[in-house]
Amino acid sequence: MDHCFTPISSMASFVEFFHKGKVRDKSKTNTFRPKKKFEPGTLRYSLHKHAQASLNSGINLREVVKLPPGEDLTDWYAVHVVDFFNRINLIYGTVSDSCTEETCPRMSGGPKYEYLWADGSSKYKKPTPLPAPRYIALLMDWIEAQINNEDIFPTKTVAIGAEAHVNTCYKHFYYFVKEFELVSNKEFEPLAELTRKLCYMDKM
């Protein structure tokens, strides 16, 4: 894929593109897809927000990548796999128009290295040379399939051990809105049993 990209017109345009999270029409390229997201209220969502806040604060990246105290390493891995997937997807989108099967006939890393594709399917049982856009499309599809595999990346709150975290978040919210009388008791009726168990038990 070397020597097949035209320079980005300006860093400003790249930054604008990156921050907007632009998603291109999939009919034009199979590598540009909607961003993968974490379900709000889960531990991984909170870790994701923690990581984003750290990145935006200008902290040394060598420090930012360290596991936050008390957090699970597996969840920290998962958060970064998804974040890197989204970022790489966006970055590739900025150059995908310049990298076609004609301009990038092989997926390479310079003149000395070529990447071959093999995934065990009937079509690609053996390592196969491919144009760069096709290779990247297959790679992004494969990564997305791994992310969507709940055996590898479980999404249920209890399954990833985040039930206690979610309960704490709810109690924090409940105490806050009650302290400042922001939400009426009527609005909590659907959650009455949960509120009784989580919040009123604290008073006992």
For residue 101, give the nearest of 77, 146, 66, 131 by alpha carbon: 131
Q: Which amino acid is at 53?
A: A
Q: Please indicate if the annotation marks 169 as binding a ligand.
A: no
CB 171 within 8 A of CB 199: yes
Q: Which amino acid is at 64?
A: V
CB 195 within 8 A of CB 183: no
The residue count for the chain? 204
Please tell me the distance from the alpha carbon of residue 63 to that of residue 49, in angstroms, as a whole number: 16
- CA 123 to chain centroid: 29
Residues 6+ apart with CB under 8 A from 42: 155, 157, 160, 162, 165, 166
Cite the annotated binding site by residue number.
Answer: 99, 104
Cite the annotated binding site for Zn(2+) by residue number.
Answer: 99, 104
